[in-house]
Amino acid sequence: MAPLTPRVVVPVDVKKKPWEQKLPLHNRWHPDIPAVADVTEGEVFRVEMVDWTGGRVGDDNSAEDIKSLDLTITHYLSGPLRVVDSKGIPAKPGDLLMVEICNLGPLPGDEWGYTATFDRENGGGFLTDHFPCATKAIWYFEGIYAYSPHIPGVRFPGLAHPGIVGTAPSMELLCIWNEREKELAENGIGLLKLCEVLHQRPLANLPTAENCLLGMINEGTPEWKKIADEAARTIPGRENGGNCDIKNLSRGSKVYLPVFVEGANLSTGDMHFSQGDGEVSFCGAIEMSGFLELKCEIIRDGMREYLTPMGPTVLHVSPIFEIGPVEPRFSEWLVFEGISVDEAGRQHFLDATVAYKRAVLNAIDYLSKFGYSKEQAYLLLSCCPCEGRISGIVDSPNAVATLAIPTSIFDQDIRPRSGKVPAGPRVLKRLPDVLRCTYDGNLPTTQNPCGSM
Amino acid sequence: MAPLTPRVVVPVDVKKKPWEQKLPLHNRWHPDIPAVADVTEGEVFRVEMVDWTGGRVGDDNSAEDIKSLDLTITHYLSGPLRVVDSKGIPAKPGDLLMVEICNLGPLPGDEWGYTATFDRENGGGFLTDHFPCATKAIWYFEGIYAYSPHIPGVRFPGLAHPGIVGTAPSMELLCIWNEREKELAENGIGLLKLCEVLHQRPLANLPTAENCLLGMINEGTPEWKKIADEAARTIPGRENGGNCDIKNLSRGSKVYLPVFVEGANLSTGDMHFSQGDGEVSFCGAIEMSGFLELKCEIIRDGMREYLTPMGPTVLHVSPIFEIGPVEPRFSEWLVFEGISVDEAGRQHFLDATVAYKRAVLNAIDYLSKFGYSKEQAYLLLSCCPCEGRISGIVDSPNAVATLAIPTSIFDQDIRPRSGKVPAGPRVLKRLPDVLRCTYDGNLPTTQNPCGSM
Amino acid sequence: MAPLTPRVVVPVDVKKKPWEQKLPLHNRWHPDIPAVADVTEGEVFRVEMVDWTGGRVGDDNSAEDIKSLDLTITHYLSGPLRVVDSKGIPAKPGDLLMVEICNLGPLPGDEWGYTATFDRENGGGFLTDHFPCATKAIWYFEGIYAYSPHIPGVRFPGLAHPGIVGTAPSMELLCIWNEREKELAENGIGLLKLCEVLHQRPLANLPTAENCLLGMINEGTPEWKKIADEAARTIPGRENGGNCDIKNLSRGSKVYLPVFVEGANLSTGDMHFSQGDGEVSFCGAIEMSGFLELKCEIIRDGMREYLTPMGPTVLHVSPIFEIGPVEPRFSEWLVFEGISVDEAGRQHFLDATVAYKRAVLNAIDYLSKFGYSKEQAYLLLSCCPCEGRISGIVDSPNAVATLAIPTSIFDQDIRPRSGKVPAGPRVLKRLPDVLRCTYDGNLPTTQNPCGSM
Amino acid sequence: MAPLTPRVVVPVDVKKKPWEQKLPLHNRWHPDIPAVADVTEGEVFRVEMVDWTGGRVGDDNSAEDIKSLDLTITHYLSGPLRVVDSKGIPAKPGDLLMVEICNLGPLPGDEWGYTATFDRENGGGFLTDHFPCATKAIWYFEGIYAYSPHIPGVRFPGLAHPGIVGTAPSMELLCIWNEREKELAENGIGLLKLCEVLHQRPLANLPTAENCLLGMINEGTPEWKKIADEAARTIPGRENGGNCDIKNLSRGSKVYLPVFVEGANLSTGDMHFSQGDGEVSFCGAIEMSGFLELKCEIIRDGMREYLTPMGPTVLHVSPIFEIGPVEPRFSEWLVFEGISVDEAGRQHFLDATVAYKRAVLNAIDYLSKFGYSKEQAYLLLSCCPCEGRISGIVDSPNAVATLAIPTSIFDQDIRPRSGKVPAGPRVLKRLPDVLRCTYDGNLPTTQNPCGSM
């Protein structure tokens, strides 16, 4: 007889604060954050996670919590977990850690989530110049389906996934991160320093001790101080995986993570009930608390065997993912295109970011013809299972990006049709809208010259 | 009784030169290129097309034709076709033209194609700094499947599609194109003028009378001269559709194109047997001659009804696509990730183009561990049905792009596996490689500072 | 704020006996079994269920419990549930009850199941003349995946579903059932009385008070006695749904059940982690305890609107099902064919049952060439996600049935291949087998003349 | 350079009669029908085929041709083809012949088909007691799509396939066929002799020289006479493949056929543009002329290696099929159930044929509520891509069969919905119906006692 139920290696209680959990959480990447538990190769185990904000966003009727959200406090991760083989020998630097997602979902009793855009002065989002307000939509789950009182007329099955899954960096890799991001923050690239001024947000978020949570390292100790000053923020995805936000990384998927420290020190967090490619509104998935049931395998020497460094050191590697057959499938898609000409009509050069921005804007405007507000469409495209593709990246000067939306998530037929089309909006009665705060800042009077922002 | 067989409105003979075809071809966009035929709403009709080079690339054992290819001669398009409704009233500016792809394929008797990279001094490609040589692989078709003597061990079903489908621009739209591309070519954007010097290729290809083919307009006439000086090149996708290279635009798909001139003046070309998202090697699909069986519907006033201008004029619109249920489907995918840190280790800011470049490079290196040369992997990822996704575009400073490869196209299991992995390459015997020319230019001694190129 | 978590309307405790549960279970269909709870249209609610035997089959190393299983005790159902609309008005006879399966799965802490064949003298199975022994295989769940120590080399995602979902019959419908089944049991049809003798099993299981469990009706009371003598057994599917064993009735599916009594009186049970079409080994799914999260909608007058009686009365109807987009999908299938010629070489006439028996036998023999025992293959085909199709039913005298197996559930390539095929079995080392009891009965010396049994 | 275009080994001209073709056709199975051409392992070749009637059904406005069709003349097959390996050594008895379907489709210029039911006195069909008239619907093809003027409101992509693909039987196998079918025809099985009387059709179609076409054997010669008296009819599927009517046997599929005679002698015919599982109306697919592009591989000794005889001799084998990833996929299905209780309300015992009949009848009645005539629904379910499943075959006394229809083939939403349902038929205006002849026979006054017919 096998043990029937996965061992819960990291429990969380969503009624408690992140720093009150039985096993302490962390919100930085650093090799010296101690493992909170051991897991053994082949064992199926369960990790529970608070939502990325640790409960600071409420299931209520206001977006004020979003507007004032302190973004230095992101993301609360569960772990690190030290991975050992069946003989007790830990994963070693140079190994590859295979993490299979056997199951996952919302935490029982906490079956809801939210999608939001930040205020332009506090975080912004991919389209913040168009949508400067803080907004929020609440989603409720009916089993595998999500629906929102703030975005009526859509209901879709979730492709739940962890936004963040990563191993701890080595000290050497951490230094590489800090140096390259500091260089960007301080000197920018191209015109980007100008952009920072216009956008009110830094080009990179450098280490800071502010709101730093380091698991079992007590705040205020010298050890805490040292690590807090060095530890990398969790916002971007990097060589260790991290915040990669791959929307299909759901049940049955596998992640192959490079191992940089003994034991691998695996951390997970930022659970999403569903996300669109790009997670465009920034707080853009259906953010929730949740659980993962995982199984690990150590591929000894797998980094050398399977990964090729792409940069000055052997540490410049990337994880690999394997998407399995177990996911919702859609048959029909409506596809919006963007080219790398920005909203001012200016031509950029093979810039996929500009092209994708255009594709998303085109889709938002299209959906607004079916009774949705543009904010509703923006949040929806951020969290529904839409696909963002780089369709053409070589035909100068235009990159072509596409955004494909599965048509069956809507309760109306959203395809273009001839005849019988009412002149006005298709939905005439007043529908609920997203929760919204006012924007108190100024919008740039001239078009932002930075195509890629 | 209905007519059983689609009417062939544009026949081509691949044994003849592009300018010798019964109905003349064209390789520019201009409102004054006359329609070669009328088609009626609801009618299924057939359009045949030469390959994009008009037969200048051979089914032979050399890449010399690729190295010396005159790129001013692209692409040969069939059409324009004037679309009228059942009463004979043509499509009008402001309408939306729905074009359904009822069927498509290679031309009988010409069932082969090629994938290639251009020499870095003559066109280049997405990864030209890494792969500066001209290379070529020939593909043969076994019904719906393609295989290549130059890339052994793979065989996959084609998702055949037209690389180019578009309507004629109005004069006003054409002026917008020419002005914005001229601005880019002359003044660049950000650091991009520097890039142009380093890359030996222009940032945009402006109108030129050289090698200009304008259908029924005889070369050398005053009319020809005027149009040739104004007409837009066909390389980039734009507001009229054009070279959008959407790999899933296959059987059962629909294209909704804005109409800018009376009759719509629909043109198609650049048939692909298969393509990966991004078409990264530039001449990157399996390029072939082919046929389309199309059916049109005119959605009167559809531009106003369904499209929203995104720019200074009402002409800044984008086409919409509808992808249907009829395509090969794959269950298992291996996914490679790239972040916006370039090969020199330098940090860029939310640059999806850099991230995608990294994802492609990672995938190429990975495949090279299974016995493929890197050139083979580059060409393969350019033409096989792989998906390029913008996974995260908001987690500064790193955009995350992913490249997903269906595992079943390989005749070996390419997933990472523990144990029993041979130290050396998995395929020890000498395998055929791509056709390759030498590169006679110089590679940049310093890293290219332009992230997006 | 909506209630986040589905209300548990029927809880079960698998450590208790079926008759000790908080809300009593039942194992018969009868209009007078009282509802144990009300549920409201639109509400998401949770029903928990013991496995079909109520815990009489163990996670152990013996098939003795299967051999001696008392089959008069089947199946333990949860419910009945009385369904009311938002105004409290119950579903009425003539309505259609839509039941959406929002979620489902094994009960936490009880993540295992079993597949078995009964002894030929005690229940048998589709192929009992070939496999007369009682056998058993245990399955463990790793999240969405199942694997068995008794059938090595396969692992597959579950398409979990309730084997039984049904409404209570009216008294009139119950009489129809009892009469037609009694007629069969007493007089047979064609040669079938002979078959019953040969097979040691009755042609139909008529009402019996033995082991009858009637929910809130106390055993031994006059009311119990009356109902027990009339109530229909739960073994076959009938007009009310019941034991329909539709393997794709998983997450996101909907069932449209006719309503025969006020309140509909919905019952569910017999949870399966996975099943192949036909459930051929009889105890043939991966049987488990489990939960359902359901949502109901009452379609008033829906029976008249959507169902057509097919028989002498208006009650001769059938439920309708809607299978949604949310299920594991497989790309490649190996398909075995059977025609209506039996194992003795005798020709039957368009008999799909004989044809399907042949298809299953062909598949079993084929898999036995890859190292599996035939009992392993039989159990596997009974519970893995294979498809049983009626391919041709008109080309006399042969019906053609097919059994399609998704190839990716195996850890070896099971497709026929030329060359390099070892002469002997592909797996030479001794592998674990199913648990097996001896068969003490006699096999028929002459071939069973009843094609359909 | 490889040859680009498949060699046409069997051309047909649909303007000529079957016996006037360049390479003669045949309509029987016999080892002595000479091969008309050789094909080599690995070569892609093309076989063209007339429709199964050889052009006797017209694209016209009458079903009279169906009513009077002489059914002794079926089916016209192309071939036999002798298969040799690359050294010229033919396939041998005991080998397995793998036939890959690289491509297939209608013949250019003949892009139409028909679906029909025969008169009850001349062939009948699965539901002939309910639908005794001869009926016909014409289908036209728009590329991969089919639509019918006689069944409005549906349009679907074809899953084209050959209804018949088979190898020649050996003399020994032929004798087995003839003996077992003669036994059935003469003595019936169970009550079936009675059925034959009621149904006006024979239980099996025995060899007859009438209308016998034997390829290169000239009619009337002694050789012809001998073969014609022995040769098996092509109606049923058998050990050699033959008329197996597997609807998914389309592009990318593989057939593994046993080889009984030297050279294998492969024949194909009975092309279908689309078919539902069961092909219930008998002339039930979208019947057409067509072409196949095939590639063969000889698996030496593959019969012994992969097939297990299931009967008294080593010849009692069945072919195997491999269905690939290249087919239209549907996301949503409406599923109708049938149990083995017949239309008279009589209980049968685990009879999948009765259950499937009930499922089909239920689906027909359901569709008739959406404006279709029952004849339209019957023909539609016979030819559209619906799936017929054996869902439960062990829960005595009821077999459960299901028929699943992809909802997206309809231009209206056919799912049950509450509210706003019109009292009458959904389509009020008079729609076109199928072509129909009168039925001049008598329907049985008592219910047919033969469940399986």
- Per-residue pLDDT reduced to its tens digit, A247-259: 999 999 999 999 9
Within 8 A of D353 by CB-CB distance, chain C residues are 350-353, 393, 399
The tokens for D48 are: 């063209």
SS3 annotation, B186-225: HHCCCCHHHHHHHHCCCCCCCCCCCCCCECCCCCCCHHHH
**Do A271 and A164 form a contact (C-beta atoms < 8 A)?**
no
| Residue of C48, C101, C144 to mutate, testing the A interface (most A Cβ within 10 Å of its Cβ) | C144
Give the C-alpha separation, D134 to C251, whole Å.
42
The DSSP code sequence of D132-181 is -S-EEEEEEEETTEEE-TTSTTBEEE---EEEEEEEPPPHHHHHHHHHHH
Residue A209 has pLDDT above 60, yes or no: yes
Three-state DSSP at C162 gives strand
Distance (Å) from the C-alpha of residue C164 to the closest C-alpha of chain D? 12
Mean pLDDT of chain C: 90
pLDDT tens digit string along D174-225?
999 999 999 998 887 765 555 454 555 678 899 999 999 999 999 999 999 9
| Residue of D74, D98, D452, D453 to mutate, testing the C interface (most C Cβ within 10 Å of its Cβ) | D452
Q: Between helices B352-367 and A352-367, what is the axis angle to 10°?
A: 120
Going by C-alpha positions, the residue among A338, B438, B141 that lies closest to residue D44 is B141
Nearest-by-CA chain A residue for C409: A325
**Do A129 and A445 form a contact (C-beta atoms < 8 A)?**
no
Nearest-by-CA chain A residue for D328: A331
Three-state DSSP at C149 gives coil
Pick left, alpha or beta for residue B421 (phi over 0 → left; psi -120 to 50 → alpha; otherwise beta).
Answer: beta
Q: In this complex, do A362 and B308 lie within 8 Å of one another by their Cβ atoms?
A: yes
pLDDT on residue A452: 34
Q: What mean pLDDT comes out for the span D359-365? A: 94
- A7-322 carries CATH number 2.60.40.10: no
Q: In this complex, do B325 and D330 lie within 8 Å of one another by their Cβ atoms?
A: yes
Nearest-by-CA chain A residue for B369: A306
Give the C-alpha separation, D307 to D330, whole Å.
33
Q: In this complex, do D140 and B2 lie within 8 Å of one another by their Cβ atoms?
A: yes
Within 8 A of C408 by CB-CB distance, chain B residues are 331-332
pLDDT on residue B426: 47
pLDDT on residue C43: 96
pLDDT on residue B337: 94
Within 8 A of A279 by CB-CB distance, chain B residues are 392-395
pLDDT-above-70 percentage for chain B? 92
pLDDT on residue B329: 81
A215 or D192, which is more confident: A215
Q: In this complex, do B4 and D112 lie within 8 Å of one another by their Cβ atoms?
A: yes
Q: Report the half-sphere exposure of C177 (CA within 13 A, side-chain side).
A: 33
Distance (Å) from the C-alpha of residue B408 to the closest C-alpha of chain C? 9
CA distances from B426 to B246, B366, B410, C205 (A): 34, 12, 13, 61
Partner-chain residue, chosen from A305, A336, A350, that has the shortest CB–CB distance to B421: A305
Q: Which chains touch B (3 or more CB pairs under 8 A)?
A: A, C, D
pLDDT on residue A424: 40
Within chain B, all domains assigned CATH 2.60.120.580 are found at: 7-322
Distance (Å) from the C-alpha of residue A8 to the closest C-alpha of chain B? 26
Going by C-alpha positions, the residue among D113, D157, D105 that lies closest to residue D138 is D113
Give the C-alpha separation, C297 to A255, whole Å.
41
| Residue of C155, C327, C331 to mutate, testing the B interface (most B Cβ within 10 Å of its Cβ) | C331
pLDDT tens digit string along A70-90?
988 889 999 999 999 999 999
pLDDT tens digit string along C99-152?
999 999 999 999 999 999 999 989 888 999 999 999 999 999 999 999 999 999
Instruction: Please report the number of interchain residue pairs, chain A to chain D, with beta-carbon separation below 8 angstroms.
Output: 12
pLDDT on residue D451: 38
pLDDT on residue B429: 60
Q: Report the half-sphere exposure of B102 (CA within 13 A, side-chain side).
A: 22
pLDDT tens digit string along D223-235?
999 999 999 999 9
pLDDT tens digit string along B62-120?
999 999 999 888 899 999 999 999 999 999 999 999 999 999 999 999 999 999 999 99
CB neighbours of B321 closer than 8 A, spacing ≥ 6? Answer: A334, A335, A336, A337, A402, B246, B249, B253, B254, B255, B256
pLDDT on residue B326: 82
Mean pLDDT of chain D: 90
Within 8 A of A145 by CB-CB distance, chain C residues are 102, 252
Instruction: Please report the number of interchain residue pairs, chain A to chain C, with beta-carbon separation below 8 angstroms.
Output: 97
Distance (Å) from the C-alpha of residue A408 to the closest C-alpha of chain D? 9
Beta bridge partners of A258: A96
Within 8 A of C329 by CB-CB distance, chain B residues are 329, 331
DSSP state of B100: E
- Tell me the torsion sign for CA atoms A231, A232, A233, A234: negative
Q: What mean pLDDT comes out for the span C416-424? A: 59
Instruction: Please report the number of interchain residue pairs, chain C to chain D, with beta-carbon separation below 8 angstroms.
Output: 376
Three-state DSSP at D267 gives strand
Residue D435 has pLDDT above 70, yes or no: yes
Instruction: Look at chain B and count its residues.
Output: 453
Residue B407 has pLDDT above 50, yes or no: yes
Q: In this complex, do B144 and D5 lie within 8 Å of one another by their Cβ atoms?
A: no
**Which stretches of chain C sit within 8 Å of chain A by CB?**
1-2, 4-6, 44, 59-60, 101-104, 108-112, 140-145, 149, 157, 251-252, 293, 295, 324-326, 328-331, 408
Q: In this complex, do B278 and A393 lie within 8 Å of one another by their Cβ atoms?
A: yes
pLDDT tens digit string along D44-78?
999 999 999 999 999 999 999 999 999 888 899 99
Q: How confident is the model at residue B428 (pLDDT cuts 50, 70, 90)?
A: very low
Nearest-by-CA chain D residue for A411: D413
The H-assigned helical ranges of A259-351 are 302-306
Q: Beta strand B290-299 with B44-49: parallel, antiparallel or unpaired?
A: antiparallel
Nearest-by-CA chain A residue for C292: A143
Q: In this complex, do B330 and C331 lie within 8 Å of one another by their Cβ atoms?
A: yes
Q: How confident is the model at residue C201 (pLDDT cuts 50, 70, 90)?
A: low
For C200, counting Cβ atoms within 10 Å of its Cβ (0-12 exposed, 13-18 middle, 19+ buried), the class is middle
Q: Beta strand B77-84 with B37-40: parallel, antiparallel or unpaired?
A: parallel
Q: In this complex, do C332 and D323 lie within 8 Å of one another by their Cβ atoms?
A: yes
Three-state DSSP at A65 gives helix
**Do B380 and B147 form a contact (C-beta atoms < 8 A)?**
no
Nearest-by-CA chain B residue for D141: B4
pLDDT on residue B312: 86
The tokens for D26 are: 């045949």
Residue A422 has pLDDT above 50, yes or no: no
Q: In this complex, do A96 and B352 lie within 8 Å of one another by their Cβ atoms?
A: no
Q: What mean pLDDT comes out for the span C348-375? A: 94
Partner-chain residue, chosen from B2, B145, B325, that has the shortest CB–CB distance to D329: B325
pLDDT tens digit string along C285-295?
999 999 999 99
Within 8 A of D369 by CB-CB distance, chain C residues are 305-306, 308
Q: How confident is the model at residue D123 (pLDDT cuts 50, 70, 90)?
A: confident
Q: In this complex, do D325 and B109 lie within 8 Å of one another by their Cβ atoms?
A: no
**Do D320 and C334 form a contact (C-beta atoms < 8 A)?**
yes
Q: In this complex, do C102 and A59 lie within 8 Å of one another by their Cβ atoms?
A: no
